[in-house]
Chain A
Amino acid sequence: MAIKLPVYFDNHATTPVDPRVVEAMVPYFTEKFGNAASRNHEFGWKAEEAVENARGQIAKLINATPKEIVFTSGATESTNLAIKGVAEMYREKGNHIITQVTEHKATLDTCKRLEKYGYEVTYLPVEKDGRINLDDLRRAITPKTILISIMYANNEIGVVQPIAEIGKIAKEKGVFFHVDAVQAVGKIPVDVQKDGIDLMSISGHKIYGPKGVGALYVRRKNPRVQLAAIIDGGGHERGMRSGTLNVPGIVGLGKACELCQQEMAAESEKMSRLRERLKESIMSRLDETFINGSMEHRLPNNINISFAYVEGESLLMGINDVAVSSGSACTSATLEPSYVLKALGVGEDLAHTSIRFGLGRFNTQEEVDYVADRVVETVSRLRELSPLYEMAKEGVDISKMKWVAASDSH
């Protein structure tokens, strides 16, 4: 079977909208265009009904109740609302927040802003496998701690944190627990009851739904979480998030959750099979390749590999008909290699050589085979070009060499 180029293996960045989701959304742009807050006519009722239906679809996927779902513009907003909302609401109780170093920037930068306002934030380190140490967490909790914010699964390395254990600790200590579950929801079972989650950020476009829509799960009992709003206005979403609801987007997010619920078991099995095939096909043919992060606690659709002696951006350039991401500095605006890999203790030299492969619903085995061949061929070609590979083959220990950097600003 011929494959269509370019191949998309960057499903942690975003996913295509499932055609079934598009189909569900379309009427809400045109004939059912009403404002869900219009209480006195048919147009408003139709829109409201659709929104409530979506709330139910999302709640069902994560074992919540519909009233616990607050719609937002996306997971970045959800995370801002969760962290800032708790921080403001519970300021008198305490000013300490615990998070960890490989979180998404939505969490890290929100915490950094709160530090400016007098909050104290503990950034837990991670172990070599990318997971936090639960004893570190226990030790970090103080009487002033109001919130723990830990992601379900990491967006670069797919490593899944011990969420249920963290939830238990949070409950014992009477601290709220926020989870950025953007990469996990719809991919692996997420259950806010079993996992002891109080607040959870969800994104539409990572689960074959549209961009520009997300949700925040806010627990209503045992314990009830209250939030100070960060967007003021008409008091939509129980006062937690003002602004006219994005009805088509919300319908899409709901439908996307419903599809994930129906297909997760089979899809997750397919993802792991394809991922294993990709990993084997690449790693059996190339020496000096390293997997970043735990294989055991990992999303089924993720693999992150460092290809020693080959700089990531040059590898991306060589496989230009394949869409993947690199932890190389050259692909980032800051010229710093991935902070996630650094936190794992991956040396900067290897961080520059890392590639993230993110598989998705619409990928095929033929694509996996094509990508593996392209990667193997390009890495081999670039290693022929690499002075480091040549030196390594001559037995030179590169880590012990004295390097003369071109400048002071790398």
Chain B
Amino acid sequence: MAYSDKVVDHYNNPRNVGSLDKKDPNVGTGLVGAPECGDVMKLQMKVNPDTRVIEEAKFKTFGCGSAIASSSLATEWVKGKTVEEALAIKNTDIVRELSLPPVKIHCSVLAEDAIKAALGDWKKKQGEAEAKPAESATSAH
């Protein structure tokens, strides 16, 4: 199986690996996927409540190289964006950037889910009621 250069690069040099304090009211945590499905992503973002800008993003991923690359890329993309801008990121953007083959599209779906789940958690902490639960964020792939 051949991986694109960008997937290999993210796999070899993953950006923003780590964890943020999940008790911090400004940190949103998204944990999506399932071990029996072969991929689990944890994405955390620290958001400035005044500017709604994502100041920090960290991830940890159990999954194939494409799953690791998708989540690594997601952290790169969300940093510096506002919550609304980050929520507009689509899995298809990730597919395009990483040249993911059809069998790996679910990795990008998971990354989009993780962004939505983390920001949903942040909104809940901020008392914003319209937060959508992660499971309804995406349909199928």
The interface of chain A, by Cβ under 8 A from chain B, is 309-311, 313-314, 317-318, 328-331, 333, 335, 337, 347-349, 352, 384-390, 398, 403-410
Contacts and interface: CB of A to CB of B under 8 A. Distances in A.
A386 B138 contact: no
B140 A409 contact: yes
B141 A407 contact: yes
Interface centre among A309, A328, A407, by most chain B C-beta atoms within 10 angstroms, is: A407
A410 B64 contact: no
A407 B60 contact: no
Given A317-B11, A388-B40, A403 B63 contact: no
Contacts of B95: none
B40 A330 contact: no
CB-CB nearest 9 A-B residue pairs: A403-B34, A349-B35, A348-B36, A387-B42, A410-B37, A313-B64, A387-B60, A352-B38, A330-B64
A170 to B, nearest CB: 37
Given A317-B3, A406-B39, A410-B106, 10 more contacts: A317-B65, A328-B38, A347-B36, A352-B38, A385-B17, A385-B62, A386-B61, A403-B33, A407-B139, A407-B141
Interface of B: 1, 3, 8, 11, 14, 17, 19, 31-42, 60-65, 67-68, 103, 106, 109-110, 113, 117, 134-135, 138-141
Nearest to A309: B62
A149 B102 CA distance: 37
Contacts of B138: 406-407
Contacts of B8: 317
Contacts of B60: 385-387, 390
8 contacts: A314-B63, A329-B37, A385-B17, A385-B62, A406-B113, A406-B138, A407-B139, A407-B141
Nearest to A333: B103
B23 to A, nearest CB: 13
A18 B65 CA distance: 35
Nearest to A330: B64
B134 A404 contact: yes
Contacts of B134: 404
A310 B138 CA distance: 26
Nearest to B117: A404
Contacts of A389: 62
A313 B64 CA distance: 5
